[in-house]
């Protein structure tokens, strides 16, 4: 890979970094995301914005900014990230969602960590919204407002779940334990891991994290170097049957044969509590939408990831029935 001399001294090869920002019809937000990328104290070598749709308004809004805009036919966020990945030949690739913001010191810190031999990492983050809700740490609308608020804000989110180094693969099999908008990975590693799975409306970041963990450990830096926007338009805020099915499909894919290494991990049954939770969530979404086809598919997948029939039956029960069952069980034990 071509490297340019490091003009900051020592004659060492300069490691290069690209940032990929997928976007879909949120020109107001992606403009802020791009501006936060351009304010890095250590500039990115390339910033690539991939509008998911050839008529996306971001194409016009970003005209004139010093970034590459590479629209694709509408194909989803995984395809957009893969398209951005395919366009860059830098040593490292970082990712930022179009509704999130980077702290100006983000890449400086990532570059310092990369020099230690780490191959995949993310950082802690702040959560904000225009009007802070119970899950947010402060109210803000812009990067400057985030920077001002973060000076005095008290962390409210427990981000210890991100600390998985040493057990990355095992813990990622259980649940997603990463922050996509602070993700930085050696390009050769993420390419070998297969990038992002096409066709996934959600959980494509989880699949990527698991496959990278087959090749290297994930390190999470404790500094909060990004600002995650709590936005009602996010796919993670919706409860569609397809979202639940996609999460179940992702879990099933983790347990299928792979050409990549399989690091040590617990047996399938050990992950049942969380997998049952995902199944419950998927079945509720299918039932609300009266989508019986999706409901049946969810149960079919469940046979592969929840081998104990009892787990599947419990997931099918209404919440009220489960609450009654827990109360009865408690009385019996008493």
Tokens of 131: 């009007």
Residue 314 has pLDDT above 60, yes or no: yes
Separation of alpha carbons 106 and 182, rounded Å: 8
**Position 43 pLDDT exceeds 60:** yes
Structure confidence at residue 318 as a pLDDT band (50, 70, 90): confident
CB atoms within 10 A of CB 4: 10
Would you list the domain boundaries of the chain? 4-233, 241-333
Mean pLDDT of 38-61: 98
Percent of the chain exceeding pLDDT 90 equals 85
Is the predicted pLDDT of residue 9 greater than 70, yes or no?
A: no
Phi, psi dihedral angles at 139 (to 5 degrees): -90, 135
Q: Which CATH class is domain 4-233?
A: alpha beta
Closest CA to 303 of 288, 313, 317, 293: 313
Mean of pLDDT values over 269-287: 96
Residue identified by tokens 């926007």 is 229
Q: How do residues 64-86 score in pLDDT, each as one tens digit?
A: 999 999 999 999 999 999 999 99
**Which tokens hold the place of 137?**
């740490």
Residue-wise pLDDT tens digits, 156-214: 999 999 999 999 999 999 999 999 999 999 999 999 999 999 888 889 999 999 999 99
Average pLDDT over residues 243-253: 95
The pLDDT, as a whole number, for residue 200 is: 86
Residue 254 near residue 173 (C-beta atoms within 8 A): yes
pLDDT beyond 90 at 235: no
Nearest to 246, CA basis, from 176, 312, 179, 193: 176
Look at residues 135, 221, 122 and name the one whose alpha carbon lies nearest to residue 176: 122
* Residue of 261, 92, 44, 88 whose CA lies nearest to 188: 92
Taking only the tens place, the pLDDT of each residue in 92-139 is 999 999 999 999 999 999 999 999 999 999 999 999 999 999 989 999
| Per-residue pLDDT reduced to its tens digit, 224-234 | 999 999 976 55
pLDDT at 228: 98
- Residue pair 312/272 in contact by the 8 Å Cβ criterion: no
């Amino acid at each position: 890979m071509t490297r340019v001399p490091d003009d900051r001294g020592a004659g060492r090869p300069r490691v290069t970094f690209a940032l990929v920002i997928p976007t879909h019809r949120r020109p107001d937000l992606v403009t802020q995301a791009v501006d936060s990328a351009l304010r890095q104290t250590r500039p990115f070598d390339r910033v690539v914005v991939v509008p998911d749709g050839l008529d996306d308004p971001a194409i016009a809004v970003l005209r004139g900014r010093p970034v590459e805009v590479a629209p694709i036919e509408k194909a989803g966020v995984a395809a957009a990230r893969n398209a951005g990945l395919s366009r860059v030949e830098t040593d490292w690739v970082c990712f930022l969602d179009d509704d999130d913001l980077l702290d100006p010191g983000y890449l400086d810190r990532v570059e310092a960590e990369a020099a230690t031999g780490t191959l995949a990492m993310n950082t802690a983050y702040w959560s904000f919204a225009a009007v802070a809700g119970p899950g947010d740490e402060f109210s803000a609308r812009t990067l400057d407002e985030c920077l001002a608020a973060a000076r005095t804000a008290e962390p409210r989110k427990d981000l210890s779940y991100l600390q998985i180094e040493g057990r990355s693969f095992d813990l990622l099999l259980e649940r997603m334990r990463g922050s996509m908008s602070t993700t930085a990975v050696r390009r050769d590693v993420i390419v070998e891991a297969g990038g992002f799975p096409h066709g996934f409306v959600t959980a494509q970041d989880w699949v990527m994290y698991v496959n990278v963990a087959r090749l290297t450990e994930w390190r999470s830096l404790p500094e909060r170097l990004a600002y995650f926007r709590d936005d009602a338009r996010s796919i993670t805020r919706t409860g569609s049957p397809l979202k639940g099915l996609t999460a179940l499909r992702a879990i099933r894919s983790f347990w299928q044969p792979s050409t990549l290494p399989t690091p040590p991990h617990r047996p399938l049954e050990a992950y049942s509590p969380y997998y049952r939770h995902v199944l419950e969530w998927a079945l509720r979404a299918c039932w609300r939408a009266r989508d019986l086809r999706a409901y049946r598919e969810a149960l079919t997948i469940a046979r592969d990831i929840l081998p104990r029939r009892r787990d599947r039956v419990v997931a099918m029960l209404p919440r009220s029935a489960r609450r009654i069952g827990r109360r009865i069980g408690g009385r019996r034990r008493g």
